[in-house]
Amino acid sequence: MPQESSPVAVRQYLMCPPEHFEVSYSINPWMDPGKPVDAGLAMAQWERLRETYLALGHRVQLIEPVPGLPDMVFAANGASVIGNRALVARYRYPQRAAEAPAYCGWLTAHGFEVVAEPRYVNEGQGDYLADGERLLAGTGFRTDRLSHGEAQELFGLPVVSLTLVDPSFYHLDTALAVLGEGQIMYYPEAFSIGSQQVLRRLYPDAVLAGRRDAEAFGLNAVSDGVNVVLPQIATGLIERLRDRGYHPIGVDMSELHKSGGAVKCCTLELLPAAEVAAAAA
């Protein structure tokens, strides 16, 4: 459990402005091209999220949005990054395939030691969440289970495969968030029975979310170990986090939610800022 006086390490995030955001196709249950999207509101909500990270003392880098790629705003899907190594995404659906070269190019240009292009379908930090010495890996709807072995070989971390069974929670980051080393929050019913048993064994003190907060994308959150940024409408989860000693920060992500994304989807976590500075020196 975090303490009020706990120092917060500076985090570094990559984000993509939603300049071309729209819902023009449907590849998850939340997307409905028939519903209007307010692009200006989406930009304002995204900007508020960026400002929240900066106000917490974290650093945000930006990737240039590419016309014709409305979901490129969901930077978390672009790659998995641990230390100075990155596994670039290979998307399940052709509508998003062109995002991968853009993120690959950015990571290569910014000096990551290894930028690996995958053999198997994986959707970046949407399905890969690092917890200290362990990598939680989702499968069932997007990322191929064969990719889990590929990630283990690249990052040298043990991989825990978790199977998603509810299509409303098609990425791991819609059903689970890492709060800090050894601490998570998740929605049990999003997972297979076996995966629920694994999570209970590994994280007996996890924060559990109910269906309402999960559908509000409350688990699509970003934590620095003390502060947890999540959609403001996940009120029950906000209270549970506060009771556990975290500092929840609610933000409005309603417009981006129309495409099946929220806080974490918009945020690709890179290596800690101190390591970035050392690597650049």
Determine the pLDDT at residue 6: 53
Specify the CATH number for the domain of residue 119: 3.75.10.10
- Does 95 reside within a domain? yes
Report residue 224: phi and psi, to 5°: -105, 15
Tell whether pTM > 0.75: yes
pLDDT for the residue numbered 1? 59
* C-alpha of 105 from chain center: 20
Alpha helix segments (H runs only) across the chain: 39-55, 99-109, 146-155, 193-202, 211-215, 235-243, 254-257, 273-280
Closest by Cα among 149, 171, 163 to 30: 171
- 6, part of any domain: no
Asked whether residue 56 is domain-assigned, the answer is yes
Residue 262 lies in a domain: yes
Is 171 marked active-site? yes
CA distance 263 to 281: 31
**Number of structural domains in the chain:** 1
DSSP SS3 for 184? strand
Q: What are φ and ψ of residue 182, in 5° steps?
A: 80, 5
Marked catalytic residue, from 58, 148, 171, 257:
171
Residue 271 lies in a domain: yes
In a domain, 7, yes or no: no
Each residue's pLDDT expressed in tens, for the chain with a length of 281 residues: 564 445 689 999 999 999 999 999 999 999 999 999 999 999 999 999 999 999 999 999 999 999 999 999 999 999 999 999 999 999 999 999 999 999 999 999 998 999 999 999 999 999 999 998 899 999 999 999 999 999 999 999 999 999 999 999 999 999 999 999 999 999 999 999 999 999 999 999 999 999 999 999 999 999 999 999 999 999 999 999 999 999 999 999 999 999 999 999 999 999 754 444 444 44
In a domain, 235, yes or no: yes
Tokens representing 104 are 């690959």
Residues 274, 11: contact at Cβ < 8 Å?
A: no
Residue 4 counted as domain residue: no
DSSP assignment of 174-194, as one string? GTEEEEETTEEEE-GGGB-HH
Q: How far is 69 from 228, CA to CA, in rounded Å?
A: 29
> Which pLDDT does position 281 carry in this prediction?
40
Out of 58, 104, 257, 265, the active site residue is: 265
For CA atoms 255, 47, 127, 108, the dihedral sign is positive
Containing domain of residue 66, as a range?
Answer: 12-280
